[in-house]
Amino acid sequence: MTTSITSLLQALHIIPTSSVKQKTSQSITTTTNKSNVSSPVTSLPEICLETVAQHDDYSDCWIVIYDRVYDVTNFLQDHPGGADIIMDYAGRDATLAFHGTGHSRDAIEQMRDYLIGELPSKERIFRTKNTQVLLKGIPE
């Protein structure tokens, strides 16, 4: 369970993917993470929730997942779960619905194609300084 949460957080670039510390009975070794995860996002434009809310229809649909903003307008018709289910969250935060649906690693990788920005720090829920504290126990 911890492993799958760690993988999800790594794939979403909430925690680093570069290395994974593995505890063995004799020593702690550091190994390279060989999973097929692209390099972390560096800098993204800040987009506030008020702006996201203005993009809430089929011809212009933005959503927020884990404090990152995605323009999914061109993906709606290709979404395997259908356009309507995403439209329920158009212009809003869809993190819990996205996470609750149990998307595959491929789906998480695919999100990158639609990434356009991230929330300003004061509007973030997941990627905050406190999150870093909460994630302290998770291997980097």
Which residues are at the interface with ligand HEM (CB under 6 A)?
Answer: 63, 70, 72, 79-81, 85-86, 88-89, 94, 97-98, 101, 103-104, 106-107, 110-111, 114
Whether the Cβ atoms of residue 63 and residue 9 lie closer than 8 Å to each other: no
CB of 100 to ligand HEM, least distance (A): 8
Q: Which is nearer to ligand HEM, 17 or 93 (CB)?
A: 93
Question: Least Å distance between CB 96 and ligand HEM?
Answer: 9
CA distance to 68, 71, 86, 101, 102, per residue, from 81 (Å)? 20, 17, 8, 10, 12
Least Cα distance to 112 among 2, 29, 17 occurs for 17
* Between 11 and 20, CB nearer to ligand HEM: 11
Q: How far is the CB of 93 from ligand HEM (least distance, A)?
A: 9
Nearer to ligand HEM, 46 or 113 (CB): 113
Asked if 32 and 58 touch (Cβ cutoff 8 Å), the reply is no
Nearest by Cα to 87 from 44, 56, 41, 133: 56
Nearer to ligand HEM, 7 or 140 (CB): 7
Residue nearest to ligand HEM (CB): 81
Closest-CA residue to 95 (of 115, 125, 123)? 125
